[in-house]
Amino acid sequence: MPRLFDKITIAGVGLIGGSLALAARAKGIVGEVVGFGRTEPNLRLARERGIIDAYSLDARQAASGADLLFLSVPVGSMASVVSSCAPALRADAIISDAGSVKAAVVREVEGVLPEKMSFVGAHPIAGGEQAGAAAARADLFAGSPCIITPGAKSASTAVRKIRDLWEALGMKVVEMDADSHDALLARVSHLPHVLAFALMDAVRGRSEAVAKLAGASFRDLTRIAASPTEVWSDIFVANRSELNVALDEFSVAFEELRGAIASGDHAALRSLIERARQAHAKISR
């Protein structure tokens, strides 16, 4: 496969950024890979694992001459990382990201984007609750979907290269506008994280019994309650208008079930459970 980028700077060499570097290097589609971050032990580990060639705690130094700046930091920090790195990037560099929220990120990054650069919002839907370079793996993305949200400052050549990048790593790329992405992700990812955090919080006084007796259903449902705090507080705030709507929709369904349970209404419960089961059957592969 031909080389797509000569030098990429990865801001945030964690599960996503580190896995992108590993996978892209394995495919031979990137030249030099430089890490940028706040936590030197994590960057050192990334270099030791062969994820990156070099790193710097200084944004300009890390970004020097790069033709791709890849943002895998919490979404609330992306615009500030772009501001710090941009002066050192190649004048026609592409900036892209892996954030779980798109409209707010696009708005904020476009506000600080130099004239000749492109920003292409992207969201590879892969990952997990683990964090850090230690969790990175080259096969993280293969077979999963990736949403790209081209905007006003996405040159078509830049969109093409970002699409090529994720397709080269085995992802199924889908394009949509940032608002559609945020509405959908509020339902399939952000709301489930709220539920997992709320459930763990609700049972926090019974951790001993829960640890001993919880089965697979509880463990699968709360697995994502181990997700990184800052990543998720940023996502919730950045996507709060869509997430508020999704939380309202969930509340309606939850209160309907709760009412039927409180009144011991078998017929109502059966019909609500059946409706949920049918919705589940439709999304099952």
State which of positions 144-203 bind its own copies (CB under 8 A): 144-145, 147, 174, 184, 187-189, 191-203
Q: Which CB atom, from 155 or from 194, has the smaller least distance to its own copies?
A: 194
| Smallest separation, CB 43 to its own copies (Å) | 24
Report how far residue 222's alpha carbon sits from residue 212's, in angstroms, rounded to the nearest whole number. 15
Q: Which CB atom, from 84 or from 144, has the smaller least distance to its own copies?
A: 144
Among 1, 115, 152, 216, binds its own copies (CB under 8 A): 216
Question: Which pair of tokens denotes residue 21?
Answer: 């570097």
Q: Tell the residue number behind the tokens 């939850």, with chain if given.
A: 254
Q: Which CB atom, from 153 or from 218, has the smaller least distance to its own copies?
A: 218
Report how far residue 160's alpha carbon sits from residue 61's, in angstroms, rounded to the nearest whole number. 27
Among 58, 92, 128, 137, binds its own copies (CB under 8 A): 128
Is 154 within 8 Å of 119 (Cβ atoms)?
yes
Question: Which pair of tokens denotes residue 174?
Answer: 């889908």
Q: Does 135 bind its own copies (CB under 8 A)?
A: no
| Smallest separation, CB 174 to its own copies (Å) | 7
Q: Which stretch binds its own copies (CB under 8 A): 7-15, 32-40, 156-164, 248-256?
A: 248-256
Residue 101 buriedness (CB in 10 A; 0-12 / 13-18 / 19+): buried
For residue 33, the cross-strand partners are 8
Among 55, 141, 166, 236, binds its own copies (CB under 8 A): 236
Binding to its own copies in span 258-277, by CB under 8 A: 258, 260-262, 264, 266, 269-270, 272-277
| Smallest separation, CB 110 to its own copies (Å) | 21
Q: Does 213 bind its own copies (CB under 8 A)?
A: yes
| Smallest separation, CB 281 to its own copies (Å) | 7
What is the per-residue binding string for its own copies in 76-115, x denoting contact by CB under 8 A? x---------------------------------------
Q: Does 143 bind its own copies (CB under 8 A)?
A: no
Write phi, then psi, for 154 (nearest 5 degrees).
Answer: -110, 100
Among 65, 107, 142, 207, binds its own copies (CB under 8 A): 207
Q: Which stretch binds its own copies (CB under 8 A): 27-35, 55-63, 153-161, 225-233?
A: 225-233
Q: Which CB atom, from 152 or from 283, has the smaller least distance to its own copies?
A: 283
| Smallest separation, CB 51 to its own copies (Å) | 22
